[in-house]
Amino acid sequence: MPQFIIQGGIPLQGSLHIHGSKNASLPILAATLLTDESCVLHNVPDISDVHAFIDILKGVGGEVSFEQGTVHVRTEKIKNTTASPELVKHMRASILLMGPLLARHGEIELAFPGGCVLGKRSIHAHTHAFTKLGAEIIEKEFAVQARRKKLKGTHVLMSEASVTATENAVMVAVLAEGKTTIHWAAMEPHVQDLCQFLVKMGAKIEGMGTHTLVIHGVEKLHGAEYTVTSDYLEAGTLALAALLTRGEVTLQGIVPGHLDSFWQKLEEVGARFEIKGDCVTLKPLPKGEYFKPVEQLKTAVFPGFATDLQAPFSILLTQAKGKSRIFETLFEGRLNYLSELEKMGAKVDLHNPQQATIYGPTQLQGASIKSCDIRAGAAMVLAALAAQGTTHIHDIDYIDRGYEKLDECLRSLGAKIERE
409 is annotated as an active-site residue: no
Q: Output the 3-class SS for 130-176.
A: HHHCCEEEEECCCEEEEEECCCECCEEECCCCCHHHHHHHHHHHCCC
- The vertex-195 CA angle with 192 and 198, nearest 5°, equals 155
Count other C-beta atoms under 10 Å from residue 408's C-beta: 10
CA distance 188 to 192: 7
| Dihedral-angle region of residue 389 (phi above 0 means left; psi in -120 to 50 means alpha; beta otherwise) | left
Among 116, 195, 279, 409, the one annotated catalytic? 116
Provide the residue type at 150 as one letter: K
Provide the residue type at 326 as one letter: I
Provide the residue type at 263 as one letter: W
Asked whether the CA dihedral 133, 138, 140, 143 is positive or negative, the reply is: negative
Torsion (CA) 253, 254, 255, 259 in degrees, nearest 10: 180
Counting Cα atoms < 13 Å in the Cβ hemisphere of 216 gives: 4
For the annotated catalytic residues, the residue numbers are 116
